[in-house]
Amino acid sequence: MIRKIVAQGKGANTLTLPAEWIKLNNLKPGDEVAIIKKNNDLIITTSRKNEAPVKSIEINAEGNKILLTALLNVCYRKGYDEVYVVIHDDNEVSTIKDKVARMIGYEIMESKEGKMVIKRVASASIEEYNNSVKRACFTLKAMLDTLNIGLKEKNKKRLLEVIEMDANLDKLTDYGRHILLKDSSVDPSNAPNSYLFLWSMEKIGDLVRDIAKIYSNSKQKIKIDSDIESLNEQVMSLASQFYDLAFALDNAKIPEFFSKRAALEVKIFAVISNSSKEKARHAHYLESIVRMLLDSFGQIVMSNL
């Protein structure tokens, strides 16, 4: 069925709907229809057919704080609209409040004796997904820069900033994964690679955070050998270059990325083979980051095909 687009006023365009479809759905002037954007297509449907059933679940962690956090993570990423949490004590209430504060688009709507109700109050969209990924990349690159500065300046406050930024990175990557599973306009062929890309970004952030913790948790002043400091700076630079490639895949820069990655693996191995416990631990974290960057490269290539 083909319809012509008709110019209507300044910058507006209209098209007519088939009379048979209007009659079939018992529509009349003034009724509303829903327009759903899916990739490059628009789907027109009646509003009542577009109303998806509310997805709700009840969870009960039996007082286990770790299990409660894990269950809330799963509910959020799977896009439940309503989550009913059975409460056993005040510690669980505190855990829920802390977690919901990091669940973008959700709020605690009701809290009565024995139960707490969490509801989704904002819709997810592909535009919000793209924004969350860009913000997550910006946050991770800021973590990389701040870690380098903190180690160079022997500044524990800077390293504590890295740890705080990681919490925000987790919040953004969780939101991105939530949208991938919730929004029907997401291209299903790219969703698995996009999901893994966000997961990898979160794990690299965790490794950067753990490097910061090595030195910020120490009661002594920061002491770091020049070789591991230089290695750290090179790995952080490689990671920053990788996330630039994620948004502008430049074939000319890919060989340089792989060449740097291979050279860094050799340097890291040399440091690990002859280092103190603290230094070796730092180097192992750097090795994990380099390997995860390699794993993530395939995901961005697939997403850009």
Residue 97 pLDDT class (50, 70, 90 cuts):
very high
6-50 has CATH 2.60.40 classification: no
Give the pLDDT of residue 12.
77
What does pTM read for this prediction? 0.73
Which sequence spans correspond to the domains of the chain? Answer: 6-50, 56-120, 126-304
225: left (phi over 0), alpha (psi -120 to 50) or beta: beta
User: H or E stretch including 120?
Assistant: strand 115-120
**Confidence label for 223 from pLDDT (cuts 50, 70 and 90):** confident
pLDDT per position as a tens digit, 109-147: 888 778 999 998 887 777 888 888 889 989 999 999 999
Q: What percent of the chain has pLDDT over 90?
A: 33
Supply the mean pLDDT for the chain.
84
Please tell me the class of the 56-120 domain. alpha beta
Q: Which residues are CB-neighbours of 299 under 8 A, at least 6 positions away? A: 193, 194, 196, 197, 200
Residue 47, pLDDT above cutoff 70: no
- Quote the pLDDT of residue 303: 57
Q: Does the pLDDT of residue 258 top 60, yes or no?
A: yes
| Segment 58-89, tens digit of pLDDT | 999 998 999 999 999 999 988 889 999 999 88
pLDDT digits (tens, 9 = 90+) for 195-212: 888 899 999 999 999 999
CATH number of 126-304: 1.20.58.220
Q: With CA atoms as reference, report the closest residue to 118 among 59, 173, 172.
A: 59
Contacts of 125 (CB under 8 A, 6+ apart): 179, 183, 185
